[in-house]
């Protein structure tokens, strides 16, 4: 028997869940409690990349099981300038010269994570479809994402949903595949 997937907009009360899953999306599975709380404080704000306002929570049988952070690229530079100095403990000082993850005219899927026990149940698929719906609703021409070149499962899922390879992007000293979906 398969469970029920539902999606909801995050609230400020979801800040810790957002923080934990942004870290999970960055493959940081173990983090100091103080770091999680610091990032949760960033997620409680309304003006950061990882703000609750940019997040969608996926529920599986009414239990939080996954998360997506996505936003209009036109807002990226302003939010980046607020967020990155606040997360210096994670990224050091190398972020100042990294590529822009998003640009005007793009709706960017910044972070996507599904809790391990809920993987392969359609949650990532539902979140990506929601991101594409939000992109369409906003009238933004492209959807974009940076995908870890070692994550073949994610790459296949994105391409199955209409994303195509569009070069590479270097973020926090790591080079990712840049995918776009018109």
The candidate with the shortest Cα–Cα distance to 135, out of 165, 168, 102, is: 102
pLDDT at 92 over 80: no
pTM: 0.93
The candidate with the shortest Cα–Cα distance to 58, out of 130, 143, 117, 2, is: 130
pLDDT at 35 over 60: yes
Reported as a single tens digit per residue, the pLDDT across 116-155 is: 999 999 999 999 999 999 999 999 999 999 999 999 999 9
The confidence score (pLDDT) of residue 96 equals 66
The confidence score (pLDDT) of residue 69 equals 98
pLDDT at 1 over 90: no
Residues 6+ apart with CB under 8 A from 72: 106, 107, 108, 138, 140
Distances (CA, A) of 77 to 33, 117, 174: 29, 35, 19
| β strands within the chain, DSSP E | 5-9, 55-60, 63-72, 106-114, 142-147, 164-171, 174-181
Q: Which residues pair with 126 in a beta bridge?
A: none
| List of domains in the chain | 5-181 (3.40.630.30)
Angstrom distance (rounded) from CA 77 to CA 75: 6
pLDDT at 16 over 70: yes
Angstrom distance (rounded) from CA 97 to CA 147: 19
């Amino acid at each position: 028997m398969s469970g029920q997937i539902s999606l909801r907009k995050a609230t400020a009360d979801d800040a810790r869940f957002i923080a934990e899953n942004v870290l999970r999306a960055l493959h940081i599975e173990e983090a100091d409690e103080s770091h999680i709380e610091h990032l949760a404080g960033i997620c409680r704000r309304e003006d950061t990349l990882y703000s609750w306002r940019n997040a969608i929570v996926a529920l599986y049988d009414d239990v939080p099981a996954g998360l997506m952070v996505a936003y209009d690229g036109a807002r990226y530079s302003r939010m980046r300038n607020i967020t990155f100095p606040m997360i210096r403990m994670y990224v050091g000082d190398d972020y100042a010269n990294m590529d822009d993850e998003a640009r005007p005219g793009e709706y960017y899927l910044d972070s996507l994570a599904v809790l391990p026990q809920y993987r392969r149940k359609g949650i990532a698929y539902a979140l990506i479809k929601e991101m594409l719906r939000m992109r369409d609703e906003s009238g933004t021409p492209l959807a974009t994402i940076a995908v870890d070149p070692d994550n073949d499962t994610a790459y296949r899922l994105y391409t199955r949903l209409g994303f195509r390879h569009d070069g590479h992007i270097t973020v926090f000293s790591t080079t990712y595949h840049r995918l776009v979906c018109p």
